[in-house]
Amino acid sequence: MSSSRMLLMYFLQLLVGLATTLVMVQGQGQLMRVGFYSRTCPAAESIVKQTIQTHFNSNPSVAPGLLRMHFHDCFKTAGPNLGLRGWEVIDDAKTKLEAACPGVVSCADILALAARDSVVLTKGFTWNVPTGRKDGRVSLATETSNLPGFRDSIDVQKAKFQELGLNTQDLVTLFFRYRLYNFTTTGNGADETINPLFLAQLRSICPENGDTARRVDLDTGSASRFDATFFTNLKNGRGILESDQKLWTDATTKSFVQRFLGVRGLQALNFNVEFGKSMVKMSNIGVKSAANGEIRRICSAVN
């Protein structure tokens, strides 16, 4: 999964100016803020950053994997979470933090910081991350049912975002094979919104009876860089997932895609800036406080 693709279905946007040096968020009786660990574990953010950098140097694909994990942050054996990557990176950072500051830094905060650092490593903009979350005591597979699906209609996707206080701009800011051969019962069987030349390219990569486990970059032409090329691909009919391409064909979301593309006559949006704002908004959903959370010893397992 490409780094830019993660922006699609991964919840985002809020009232945080990136130039602000201190951001405070009230979450269920707990005050989160930028620099939460400045006294209790001053090296926390640098330890996370250095750990992500080390793993990224060995395997750049950990960057989009960590960004996706921040979105899914739930029960790793649930259907929508199959294929998540990066658990070993988070556990490595946790091990180092436990050695430096035992029982202080939560896994939820490590993941929020790791997502930001992953974006920066793939040439995206940075943003301030409010910290101070606690980890949940229970992980439920049923909680993944509200994750946007790759075949969801735009109305369903918007409803799932709205349930968590996120709007249509958040949806656009964040957010196969069946599309190539079995999408329709007439014609060539492909989704007609796919650019014909791109369809031929995809079919050559994914023949009808070929390897179903083969990976395809979901942000063609910019797979290793965090940028707004994804939206250009949608305009040109080169979105891989059905839910992606719908962002261009649905009128309510198309205008936001056009604003990210700088279409004349519309108020332009800077994708990198809006992404940082939305990441903060997403990371404030369901924050756990000391009253209903904990500090896990191992991030990939409930204590």
For position 148, what pLDDT does the model report?
61
For position 263, what pLDDT does the model report?
92
| 217 annotated binding-site participant | no
For position 39, what pLDDT does the model report?
96
For position 197, what pLDDT does the model report?
73
| 135 annotated binding-site participant | no
Position 225 pLDDT exceeds 70: yes
Q: Which positions are catalytic?
A: 72
Q: Where in the chain is the domain with CATH 1.10.420.10?
A: 154-283
- pTM for the whole structure: 0.68
Least confident of 77-86, 126-135, 150-159: 77-86
Fold entry, domain 154-283: Peroxidase; domain 2 (1.10.420)
Position 292 pLDDT exceeds 50: yes
What pLDDT, in 10s, does the model give residues 163-183? 777 788 877 776 544 445 455
Least confident of 27-36, 119-128, 180-189, 239-248: 180-189
For position 2, what pLDDT does the model report?
39
DSSP symbols for the chain: --TGGGGSSS----S--TT-S--EEEETTEEEETTTTTTT-TTHHHHHHHHHHHHHHH-TTHHHHHHHHHHH-S-TTSGGGTT---HHHHHHHHHHHHHHSTTTS-HHHHHHHHHHHHHHHTTPPP----B--BEES---GGGGGGSPPTT--HHHHHHHHHTTT--HHHHHHH--HHHHHSS-SSTTSS-TTS-HHHHHHHHHHS-TTS-TT----SSTT-TTS-SSHHHHHHHTT--SSHHHHHHHHSHHHHHHHHHHHT-TTS----HHHHHHHHHHHHHTTT-B-TTTEE--SSTTS--
| 191 annotated binding-site participant | no
Position 90 pLDDT exceeds 90: yes
Q: Where in the chain is the domain with CATH 1.10.520.10?
A: 43-136
| 219 annotated binding-site participant | yes
Least confident of 21-35, 72-86, 171-185, 241-255: 72-86
Architecture of domain 43-136: Orthogonal Bundle (1.10)
What pLDDT, in 10s, does the model give residues 91-139? 999 999 999 999 999 999 999 999 999 989 988 889 999 999 998 876 5
For position 238, what pLDDT does the model report?
80
Mean pLDDT estimate for the chain: 74
Least confident of 11-20, 130-139, 141-150: 11-20
